[in-house]
């Protein structure tokens, strides 16, 4: 469904993100690149990097077309490859709940370390990571601090309830 859907995210879908002045933006788990056109429209001067598997990268090239695809730099797994860049904003949409806890902790540690001092992590996610229904939000809070204006509600974050939350790096 994700790959076959004609849905394209508009700039309005990403207005919850603090994009102003961000120079380097990582779209973590970018998939076919549905956030990319909106990021290009909202942050045209930013260096945008997509991170996903090589298979998804090939699908992104087809989905985005050569012009938009060519405006993006790409990083593929393993997650240690993310250490090459410092990010001002990291976007993760509906991705963390699909990662097993140990790997998620490794990724979050890397993302925290690669986030600039005033960088932000923007997450749209459900409240669980696997069939054990571990709280993705509680795991994230081990590495990041939710912005007060995000109103993270841990009680409502289980199941299919999606939340959009902006985080800062936890020191």
How far apart, in whole angstroms, are the C-alpha atoms of residue 136 and residue 138? 6
CA–CA distance, 104 with 102 (Å, rounded to integer)? 5
Tens-digit pLDDT profile for residues 152-166: 877 664 555 678 899
Judge contact between 96 and 140, C-beta under 8 A.
yes
Q: pLDDT, tens digit, for every residue of 48-89?
A: 999 999 999 999 999 899 999 999 999 999 999 999 999 999
User: Which of 109, 136, 112, 110 shows the shortest CA–CA distance to 124?
Assistant: 136
Taken as a whole, the chain contains a residue count of 171
The pLDDT-based confidence of 7 (bands split at 50, 70, 90) is low
pTM above 0.85, yes or no: yes
Lowest mean pLDDT among 28-37, 52-61, 109-118, 161-170: 161-170
- How many Cα atoms are found within 13 Å in the side-chain-facing hemisphere of 62? 10
Q: Which residues are paired to 119 by β-bridges?
A: none
- Asked whether the predicted pLDDT for residue 110 surpasses 70, the reply is yes
CA distance readout (Å), 87 to 9, 50, 66, 157: 22, 12, 24, 26
Architecture of domain 11-169: 3-Layer(aba) Sandwich (3.40)
């Amino acid at each position: 469904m994700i790959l076959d859907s004609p849905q394209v995210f508009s700039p309005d879908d990403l207005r919850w993100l603090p994009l102003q002045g961000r120079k380097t933006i990582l779209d973590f788990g970018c998939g076919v690149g549905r956030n990319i056109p909106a990021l290009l429209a909202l942050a045209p001067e930013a260096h945008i990097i997509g991170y996903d598997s090589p298979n998804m990268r090939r699908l992104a090239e087809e989905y985005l077309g050569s012009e938009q695809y060519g405006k993006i730099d790409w990083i593929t797994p393993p997650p240690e490859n993310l250490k090459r860049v410092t990010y001002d904003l990291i976007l993760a949409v509906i991705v963390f709940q699909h990662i097993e806890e140990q790997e998620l902790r490794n990724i979050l540690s890397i993302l925290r370390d690669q986030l600039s001092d005033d960088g932000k992590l923007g997450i749209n996610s459900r409240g669980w990571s696997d069939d054990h229904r571990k709280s993705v939000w509680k795991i994230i809070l081990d590495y990041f601090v939710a912005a007060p204006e995000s109103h993270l509600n841990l009680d409502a974050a289980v199941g299919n309830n999606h939340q959009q939350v902006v985080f800062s790096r936890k020191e």
